[in-house]
Amino acid sequence: MQTAAALTMVRDDTFYLKAWLRYYGGMFGRENCYIVNHGRGAEVAQLAEGCNIIGIPGEPHPNFDMKRWRMLNNFVQGLRSYYKHVVVGDVDELVVVDPIRECSLLEFLEQVKPRRVLTPVGLEVIHRTDLETDVIDDKILGPRRYVRLAPHYSKPCVISMGTKIARGGHYTQFDQLLTPDGLFLFHLKYCDFENYVQVMNARNKVTQDIGVDVKDAAIGGHWFPESRGEDHAVFQAFQGLELKEGFDLGWVRRRMHRSFAPRGDTGFYNFKRPDYDGQYLLPDRFSGLF
């Protein structure tokens, strides 16, 4: 049985897809990468050559996020018949191991016991436009070094047992919280200002084409123009976040565990996800990781 597969779904987000392919394709091998090509985009298919590409129709319709995660759930459980672990998430999310552990994610997973779900600590890469002027060409970390805590992206996304994943990937029905030291999920939405503008323009158009409100679309409100805000102001706000010293985030994991509990009577489990102020400068060891 192979150690690990990576699974995502993408529609034209080629900036993120390139990073996803460089990272997971380079580490797991493209033959162990599975990409749902929403809309059967030609550029996605070309970039992902050598991966397992699953083309699906791309017509706009309500509840597409709910349908998306229903499909991804089924794919994860199918892949588990052939892989010890399946890493599943959005194309702008990468699960990494702190280089201080001196192993790759694949090497780390080779040592992880099966029949569990791992939840990395979520970090959001932020583009400090006042300090970081380099254009992202190949690697993201290096040109970008600042992150903020993102509890919303501390997702149970490394799956090695039969469990249901909730819409958005934020919860599962696994009744334990496993948060290994040094395991992080990097969210890339804000890693580059110019790309952010392009992506948000495209996502706003999707919601306009669907023609329904946030509730009926069953997707995050940030896809809708009225929730977007002014782009420059969004990135300028990063400058005002307090710069925290060090990079010891064990306290975040401890807080996650203290609040871990059933999510009502849904069958899912969750932990509190407060907004944290502040930002961190990534240690040099992270540069070039992806």
Query: Where is pLDDT greater, at 185 or 218?
Result: 185
- What pLDDT was estimated at residue 12? 87
Q: For residue range 33-72, list pLDDT tens digits in order.
A: 999 999 999 999 999 999 999 999 998 777 888 899 999 9
Of 92 and 209, more confident: 92
- Tell whether the model's pLDDT for residue 23 goes beyond 80: yes
Strand 183-187, strand 121-126: pairing: parallel
- Average pLDDT of every residue of the chain: 92
On the question of pLDDT at 220 being above 60, the answer is no
Cα 10 off chain centre by: 12
Q: Dump pLDDT digits (tens) for 93-149.
A: 999 999 999 999 999 999 999 999 999 999 999 999 999 999 998 999 999 999 999
Edge to edge, the sheet with strand 183-187 lists 93-97, 183-187, 121-126, 146-149, 280-281
Domains, the chain, in order of start with CATH, read 2-194+226-286 (3.90.550)
pLDDT band at 208 (very low <50, low <70, confident <90, very high): low
Given pLDDT bands bounded at 50, 70 and 90, which one contains residue 225? Answer: very low
Rounded to two decimals, the pTM is 0.90
**8, 22, 70, 222 from 218: Cα distances, Å:** 19, 31, 13, 12
Amino acid 107: pLDDT: 98
pLDDT in the model for residue 205: 59
Higher pLDDT pick, 176 / 61:
176
**Structure tokens of 177?**
């919280």
Tell me which of 281 and 228 has the higher pLDDT.
281
pLDDT confidence tier of residue 226, bands split at 50, 70 and 90:
low
More confident residue, 269 or 66: 269
3-state secondary structure of 215: helix
List, in sequence order, every residue forming a beta bridge with 279; answer none if it has no partner.
Answer: 243
CA 212 to CA 215: how far, in whole Å?
8
Query: Which single residue is written with the structure tokens 């407060």?
Result: 274
